[in-house]
Amino acid sequence: MRKISRFLPFLAVAAMMMTSCGGSGNDTPVDPGTDDPSTIYKDKSGYEIDTSKFEADKSLTVYGGCEEPYLKAITSAFAKKFNVTCNYIRLSSGEIETKIKAENGTPSADVLFGGTTDPYNALKNANLLEAYEAQRGSHIKESYFKDPDHCWYGIYKGILGFMYNKNRLAELNVSAPKDWDDLIKPQYKGLVTWSNPDTAGTAKLVINTMVQQKAAGKKTTYKDAENKDVECYDSTNAMAYFKALDGNTVEYTKSGSGASKQVGKGECVVGIGFLHDVLMQINDNGYNNIGIVAPTSGTAFEVGATAILKGAKHPYLAKAFEEFALSPECVELGATNGSYQFLVLDDAKQPQVALDAGLAEIKTMDYDFDDAKVNTGHYVEEFKKNVNSDDRFKTK
């Protein structure tokens, strides 16, 4: 029987966690125009912050799309560094987008950290991100790792691939998949787990990846909400693929890391997800029964990002957080907290675990980021029309 994980995007289940380092000192607002040298913090990585501009309550809240140990570590480090309080709320990428759109310019948080850029682009298009030209933005060299209008900045990239439980496949006398088309073969019926595109940015990336691969450059158009023609890739072959894959899928998890958390336990036999999540299960949790696969025809990668929310209650603290988030001090905390994504800053040290696993040699496709910015929502709707005959992707 297939299972489908559902979610309540505004539930208190996305419980607020807090880390703080006692904000002491004068709580009287200071003139934002002050240039008192004693209040200028100069970081060794090259950014400067005027701490006198911090809001009186010295409190910041982060919506986080990365895994919780990493999120907890970076918010703790920021709180300690600037002697402020820093709260976090861990949500999946889809939940982040839904929640911020519902808040409509009066967000409960100030900044975003982690998660794929698909919801960041959707939020930018909805005018719900605040443009900020970060001092540390110059350390991101590739254009696709940052928004041209300074609405978000990349912090890491994660490579999409497969994972499998060696013992379960041996018991079933089934070989490990090597490429995308292997996953739709009869021997994998009822064995594949991946994520729900309504809640997980990972699933959106899978859909975009297959649309681009299967289209082989062929374009078409569709009508948008204003009845205008929009150019996109021809998704016909990709949707046929997803119909077949749906027949082999046993579960669509809420989070993109869901399969990686199940595979070592044998609850997932073959999964689709990010390979750095699997490395965490192998390296940190000791699941040596997990195999990883980079699709032979090529794969895509996510860009994890950070941004300031439009309407943030603490804009000066939010800017300080953005500079910190784009520093080696912040992003290198991933490698010591179970997150082994490759880092996009030119002065950050790459996680040795990922290098040792050979992730740097994996073939990635020439992914069309511009198309994904415009057409992800269209492709997801096409996907659900083609595989969702029993409404398995409706959220409540």
pLDDT of residue 244: 97
Same fold, 3-157+302-351 and 160-301+363-387: yes
Q: What percent of the chain has pLDDT over 70?
A: 88
Q: What is the DSSP string of 368-389?
A: -HHHHHHHHHHHHHHHHHHH-T
pLDDT digits (tens, 9 = 90+) for 30-55: 334 445 668 999 999 999 999 999 99
Question: Domain spanning 160-301+363-387: which CATH class is it, in words?
Answer: alpha beta
Label residue 307 exposed, middle or buried (CB < 10 Å: 0-12, 13-18, 19+).
buried
- At 333-355, the pLDDT tens digits run 999 999 999 999 999 999 999 99
Q: Answer yes or no: CATH 3.30.420.40 is held by domain 3-157+302-351.
A: no
Q: Mean pLDDT in the chain?
A: 89
pLDDT in tens, 227-239: 999 999 999 999 9
Residue 76: pLDDT above 80? yes
Residues 6+ apart with CB under 8 A from 140: 146, 153, 154, 326, 344, 345, 346
Give residue 94's pLDDT: 85
**What is the per-residue pLDDT across 97-122, written as a single tens digit (0 to 9) for each?**
999 999 999 999 999 999 989 889 99
pLDDT tens for 185-214 read: 999 999 999 999 998 989 999 999 999 999
Q: How confident is the model at residue 93 (pLDDT cuts 50, 70, 90)?
A: confident
Q: Which of 182, 176, 119 is nearest to 152 (CA)?
A: 119
CA 17 to chain centre: 19
**What's 127-148 look like in SS3?**
CCEECCCCHHHHHECCHHHECC
For 248-267, the pLDDT digits (tens) are 999 999 989 999 999 999 99
Nearest to 340 by CA among 327, 330, 326, 354: 354
Residue ranges of the domains in the chain?
3-157+302-351, 160-301+363-387
**pLDDT (0 to 100) of residue 90:** 95
What is the rounded CA–CA span in Å between residue 181 and residue 242? 10
Give alpha helix (H) positions in the chain.
68-82, 93-103, 117-125, 166-172, 201-215, 236-248, 258-263, 275-283, 315-325, 328-331, 352-356, 369-387
The yes-or-no verdict on residue 29 having pLDDT over 60 is no
**CA angle at residue 122 from 119 to 127, to 5 degrees?**
125
Residue 35 is predicted with a pLDDT of: 57
